[in-house]
Amino acid sequence: MSIATTPHLNFRGDAHAALEFYQSVFGGAVTVATYGDFGMPAGVPGADKVVFGQVETTEGFRVMAYDIPGQSGGSAASAGSTRRENGTTVTDQPFFVAVRGETLAEVEAYWSALSVGATIVEPLAASAWSPGFGMLTDAFGVTWVLDVAAAYSAE
């Protein structure tokens, strides 16, 4: 048996733009179905919004998204505040989306693309547990944690 988890991000009217942005960062294929595709009349406000959306790569990256019905105004519904305070990350967000790469160069490329229009919470840099770790909140209000996989010994 196998199981996979996929972050499902909830947006306020800009899920399609977010999915296109994430595809530009990670590659892969975008799948989008609108409320209109599922029978909502074209003239009804929100018919063009995303009821199901996904970016998926052959390397294993996958994220889903949709627009909350009746919502508009941009940014993820899950957006909260995240900041650095006295060397510690302080947040009221219920989750982060974590991306772990095999090399620093790979993670730096994702970081560079995701950081466009983002708020940097923790700059990408070496840490006690990884050759590269950083945290940012992207232009859509989603907070991402990126790091380089490192060998860990519990001993």
**pLDDT given at position 80:** 65
pTM of the full predicted structure?
A: 0.85
- Which of 3.40.50.261, 3.40.50.150, 3.30.720.110, 3.30.390.50 is the CATH number of 82-148? 3.30.720.110
**pLDDT given at position 128:** 85
**pLDDT given at position 9:** 94
**pLDDT given at position 33:** 95
d(CA 36, CA 128): 49
d(CA 110, CA 101): 9
Buried b (16+ CB within 10 A) or exposed e, 131-143: ebbbbbbbbbbbb
- Give pLDDT tens digits along the chain (155 positions): 778 889 999 999 999 999 999 999 999 999 999 999 988 888 888 899 999 999 999 999 999 999 998 767 766 765 566 666 666 666 666 678 999 999 999 999 999 999 999 999 999 999 888 999 999 999 999 999 999 998 766 65
**pLDDT given at position 49:** 94
**pLDDT given at position 107:** 96
- Phi, psi angle pair for 16, to nearest 5°: -65, -45
**Largest separation between any pair of C-alpha atoms in the chain:** 63
Per-domain residue ranges for the chain? 8-67, 82-148
pLDDT digit string, tens, across residues 30-58: 999 999 998 888 888 889 999 999 999 99
